[in-house]
Amino acid sequence: MSTERSINFSAGPAIIPESVLQKASKEMLNWNNTGMSLMELSHRSGPFKELIAKIEQDLIDLLKIPETHKVLFLQGGAHFMFSGVPLNLMGENGKGDYILTGNWSTRAMNEAKKYGKVNVVCKPDEFNKIPPKEEWNLSTDASYVYYCDNETVKGVEFPDIPDVGDVPLVCDMSSNFLSRPFDVSKFGCVYACAQKNFGMAGLTIAIVRKDLIGKQLPYTPMMLDFELQAKANSMFNTPSTYAIYIAGLIFDWLKEQGGLEEIAKINLKKCKLIYDAIDNSNGFYKSPVEIKSRSRMNIPFVCKNKEWETEWLEGAAKLKLVSLKGHRSVGGFRASIYNAMSYEGCEKLVNYMIDFMKSKEK
Ligand code: PMP
């Protein structure tokens, strides 16, 4: 790794593999012998159409997306989908079931209320766990069940895809998309913004079951209309071409790493290293999340004296370990260790955590 680069634990926009940035920088002035930057290239041009088709195919290969599902390259961030989901999927029943496990699922539910009824399936007192299914209150007449696979702020992640019977399952996978394989066929719709695990802000990918497309409410804005977007193959208007290109470079990088099975193994090793450091610290560090709901991607933790936080962060920054401050609503620290964060980066963090602890316990 280049010595001038920080070891970036930001929750998003987040770290990007250095080789991807190098490739993009090499191709900046002349992409693929077009004599221009990808940024300057028309989205209607042959080379761009070929590129987006390749990128879509790479995603299909990585996730083994079945024929039954359509990939959409959208914009507007994950927030776009907070509105897009109810507008397109609430349909005749006019009702969505929402599993609340943190602030992102709550925000999505609040947006959905504008377009129809919502039912809260569960809502733990504190957002520090996934409540067991026995505590869920699923409706019998919902058009879909919504959940957030990984709540980025408090670091709460579903260990498995929830079983909700025949009702279409909708998932915000913004902060753990492509961090492990999953069975796309179980979803009515799954989506993620790019700026955490596959590149830069400006792109949101949605994978939607084809038979659910075309049920949008009549007043759905055209940009949010899955049917229009699907018919236009994500070229309804000018898509975020550069963000799509960067996502494509990351898909290439993921394949080079051995695909999602391999990436999932590395991710497990990385988070185990950090959780072990927390759990073996004799209470010096603490994770606020129930063990079986702990996120593999976003690890919030506190140290036993709140007054040491600034010193801890400053000491970390001196070692180029940056963006470790906890979310403003939570405090403490948070290490976001998406795919592009190396095992060595996590080791450096853990060594620092231990050194800091020893310095206080002298
Ligand atoms: N969902 C999750 C799980 C997130 O972590 C975030 C934060 N980026 C969002 C939604 C909102 O994303 P955006 O800023 O792209 O709208």
Establish if 8 belongs to a structural domain.
no
Classify residue 74 as exposed, middle or buried by CB count within 10 Å of its CB (0-12, 13-18, 19+).
buried
Q: In the predicted model, is pLDDT for residue 3 greater than 80?
A: no
Same domain, 266 and 249: no
Cβ distance 149 to 173 under 8 Å? yes
The verdict on whether 125 is a catalytic residue reads no
The verdict on whether 136 is a catalytic residue reads no
Q: In the predicted model, is pLDDT for residue 92 greater than 90?
A: no
Gap between the Cα atoms of 10 and 168, Å rounded: 32
Give residue 361's pLDDT. Answer: 86
Quick one: which of 184, 225, 176, 215 has its CA closest to 72? 225
- Domain boundary, last residue among 256, 285, 303: 256
Q: How far is the CA of 228 from the centre of ligand 1 (A)?
A: 24
Same domain, 130 and 150: yes
Q: In the predicted model, is pLDDT for residue 201 greater than 90?
A: yes
Same domain, 251 and 266: no
pLDDT tens digits, 161-199: 999 999 999 999 999 999 999 999 999 999 999 999 999
pLDDT tens digits, 54-79: 999 999 999 999 999 999 999 999 99
Angular region, 332: left φ>0, alpha ψ -120 to 50, beta rest: left
**Element of type H or E holding 285:** strand 285-286
- Rounded average pLDDT over 223-239: 97
Same domain, 97 and 144: yes
Q: In the predicted model, is pLDDT for residue 93 greater than 90?
A: no
Give residue 308's pLDDT. Answer: 97
Gap between the Cα atoms of 194 and 241, Å rounded: 13
What's the order of all strands across the beta sheet hosting 333-336? 285-286, 298-303, 333-336
Is residue 78 lining ligand 1, measured as CB closer than 6 Å? yes
> Tokens 């260990």 appear where?
159
Domain residues for 222?
A: 21-256
| pLDDT-above-90 percentage for the chain | 96
Structure tokens at 293: 């709901």
- Domain boundary, last residue among 215, 233, 256: 256
Gap between the Cα atoms of 137 and 35, Å rounded: 58
**CA-only gyration radius of the chain, Å:** 21
Classify residue 15 as exposed, middle or buried by CB count within 10 Å of its CB (0-12, 13-18, 19+).
buried
Same domain, 269 and 209: no
Same domain, 176 and 119: yes
Q: Pairing mode, if any, of strands 204-209 and 189-193?
A: antiparallel
Say if residue 13 is preceded by a cis peptide, omega within 30 of 0.
yes
Is residue 152 lining ligand 1, measured as CB closer than 6 Å? yes
Give residue 79's pLDDT. Answer: 98
Same domain, 108 and 229: yes
Which has more confidence, 215 or 361? Answer: 215
User: Nearest C-alpha to atom 11 of ligand 1 is from which residue?
Assistant: 78
> Tokens 């055209």 appear where?
222
Cβ distance 86 to 106 under 8 Å? no
Mean of the per-residue pLDDT values of the chain: 97
- Among 193, 240, 329, 336, residue to substitute to test ligand 1 (most atoms within 8 Å of Cβ): 193
pLDDT tens digits, 273-328: 999 999 999 999 999 999 999 999 999 999 999 999 999 999 999 999 999 999 88
Gap between the Cα atoms of 109 and 118, Å rounded: 7
159 Cβ partners below 8 Å, 6+ apart?
Answer: 130, 292, 293
Predicted TM-score (pTM) of the model is 0.98
Confidence of residue 329 (pLDDT cuts 50, 70, 90): confident
CATH of the domain at 282: 3.90.1150.10
Is residue 174 lining ligand 1, measured as CB closer than 6 Å? yes
Establish if 15 belongs to a structural domain.
no
Same domain, 249 and 298: no
Q: Please report the atom of ligand 1 found closest to the CA of residue 79.
A: 16
| Alpha helix segments (H runs only) across the chain | 18-26, 46-63, 77-89, 103-112, 226-231, 241-256, 259-279, 309-318, 343-360
User: Nearest C-alpha to atom 9 of ligand 1 is from which residue?
Assistant: 78
Q: How far is the CA of 349 from the centre of ligand 1 (A)?
A: 25
CATH of the domain at 61: 3.40.640.10
Q: Which residues pair with 151 in a beta bridge?
A: 156
Give residue 206's pLDDT. Answer: 98
Establish if 210 belongs to a structural domain.
yes
- Among 101, 105, 152, residue to substitute to test ligand 1 (most atoms within 8 Å of Cβ): 152
Is residue 193 lining ligand 1, measured as CB closer than 6 Å? yes
Q: In the predicted model, is pLDDT for residue 131 greater than 90?
A: yes
For residue 280, the tally of other CB atoms under 10 A from its CB is 10
